Structures are given as structure tokens and as C-alpha cells.
Amino acid sequence: MQVKVLFFGQLKDVVGAAEDRVELPEGASVDDLVAHYRKRFPRWEQFRPSLAVAVNQEYAESGARLRGGDEVAFLPPVSGGASDRVELTRAPIVAQEILAGVKAPADGAVVVFDGIVRDHSGGRQTLYLDYEAYEPMALRQMEEIAAELRARWRVDRVALVHRLGRLHIGETSVLIAVSAAHRDHAFEACRHAIERLKRVVPIWKKEYFADGAVWAEGERPAAEIAFPRRPS
């Protein structure tokens, strides 16, 4: 079977082309395609830890099976420009500073999600929150979300910033900003980003009340990362 392959950013220089067509055996996976290019281009290895992949404009896992006629895009984290901002911080998030870095003359819209700490949860008065993360993996997953937005929508710049540590009522816990020439792309990408972040980025929240503290239950993980259960 034959698949079409697209390269972006530095990968275009590594391969010497913006696109390629490759013959693969039936049932081949994204991993098999990666192995094909690693063998041909030794420099490919330096991008492997931070590479995102899209199949037919949908973010794909490395083990995803390919079919004849598929379009596969390899996306380095910096594709689309070094202006993307992906960050974990223990300092207060300053929305206006982040928005200033997202706007550009070619943009027609900037859509923002500003998640703030509310004063109640489950009928109890919240005092404050503590956030913790598996930081290296969280940053990697956030970079992959930014790459996924670029693969699926025509966005210009992306900012994904999440706060860690102790947060008080009214403070911003997560800020996502997406700019695009057209508002539909910015709206859809921003909504997808927060929903994806909640399901795949390893960040946990502990809620403190006058009578104790609990870890927030959170959302169920995405199917592709959920630990498989043994049949009963």
C-alpha cells in the first residue's frame, strides 16, 4: 500500500523535501513508517522524543495502523513557529502578557479559555487548591496538544499555560489562547485543547476545605492512554 507523507519545520531539511510517498506492507503502523525514515536519515533520531504525528489530519498514536491512501504528517513541536507557548509555572498567570504574545497582524480572532479557582466544590466552601504534575510528561503532552491543533485547524499561535502549587480563590489555574485568521478555527481548537488537556495531561488537583481535603476525581483518561483492565 502507498501512503502520502508530509514534513514540517526542521524535518523538511532533514529529509530534503516537504512531502514523500512510501510503499508499506499491508497492516503497517505509524511506528513502521517512523522506522523507515530513521533508517534513511540518521538525523531523524534527534526529533523522535518530541515528534507528533497526524493521520488524515487527526492526531495519531505511534501504534496506529495505516491504510493505503492515508496522509501522514510528522510535526516537530516548533512547527508553525517558535511563538507557541507551552509552560508549567508556579508563578501567577498573567493573561494579558500571554495574549500579547499570541496576537499577530494576520489574525482575525483570539479565543481564550481562562480557568479560575472557584469558591465551592460539591456543596462545600473551598479554601484553596494545590496542583501537582508529572512535569516532564505533562509538558510533552501539552506540546503534543499544540501540534494536534496545528494538524487539525488553521491556527496561527497557541499558548497552553498551567499553574502548579497552591492557588487561592479567583486565581487562574490554566490559560489557553489560540489565534487564527478565522474565528471558527480558533473556537474549535481552543475547546478541543482544554478537553484534551483534562484527559491526557498528568496534572492532579487537591481541594482544601475547612473540614479536610480531597483529591479531585477528575475526568476519565482518554481511551488510548487508559490502563487496560484484565478480563474478569
Query: What are the sequence ranges of the domains in the chain?
Result: 2-75, 85-215
120 close to 201: Cβ distance less than 8 angstroms: no
Alpha-carbon distance of 128 to 130, in angstroms, equals: 7
- pLDDT confidence of residue 58: 80
Total Cβ atoms within 10 A of residue 108: 12
Please state which CATH number belongs to domain 2-75.
3.10.20.30
Question: Do 85-215 and 2-75 fall under one CATH topology?
Answer: no
pLDDT at 226 over 50: no
- pLDDT confidence of residue 191: 98
Rounded to an integer, the average pLDDT of 130-146 is 92
Grid look-up 497582524 returns 105
Check whether domain 85-215 has CATH 3.40.50.300, yes or no:
no
| Element holding 110 (H helix, E strand) | strand 109-116
Q: Which of 83, 84, 58 is nearest to 72 (CA)?
A: 58
Rounded to an integer, the average pLDDT of 21-34 is 95
- pLDDT confidence of residue 52: 80
Torsion of CA 212, 175, 227, 57, to 10 degrees: 170
Rounded to an integer, the average pLDDT of 175-195 is 96
- pLDDT confidence of residue 222: 55
Rounded to an integer, the average pLDDT of 173-196 is 96
In DSSP terms, 215 is beta-bridged to: 206
- DSSP 3-state of 152: helix
185 close to 155: Cβ distance less than 8 angstroms: yes
Rounded to an integer, the average pLDDT of 143-164 is 92
- pLDDT confidence of residue 224: 52
Rounded to an integer, the average pLDDT of 125-132 is 95
User: For all residues of the chain together, what is the average pLDDT?
Assistant: 87
- pLDDT confidence of residue 223: 53
- pLDDT confidence of residue 30: 94
Minimum mean pLDDT range among 11-25, 120-134, 215-229: 215-229
Grid look-up 487564527 returns 180
Q: Which of 85, 49, 56, 88 is nearest to 71 (CA)?
A: 56
Q: What is the pTM of this model?
A: 0.64
Alpha-carbon distance of 86 to 145, in angstroms, equals: 10
- DSSP 3-state of 105: coil
Residue 229: band (very low, low, confident or very high) from pLDDT cuts 50, 70, 90:
very low
Pick 7 or 21 by higher pLDDT.
Answer: 21
pLDDT at 46 over 90: no
Alpha helices by DSSP H, 91-174: 95-102, 135-152
Rounded to an integer, the average pLDDT of 165-176 is 98
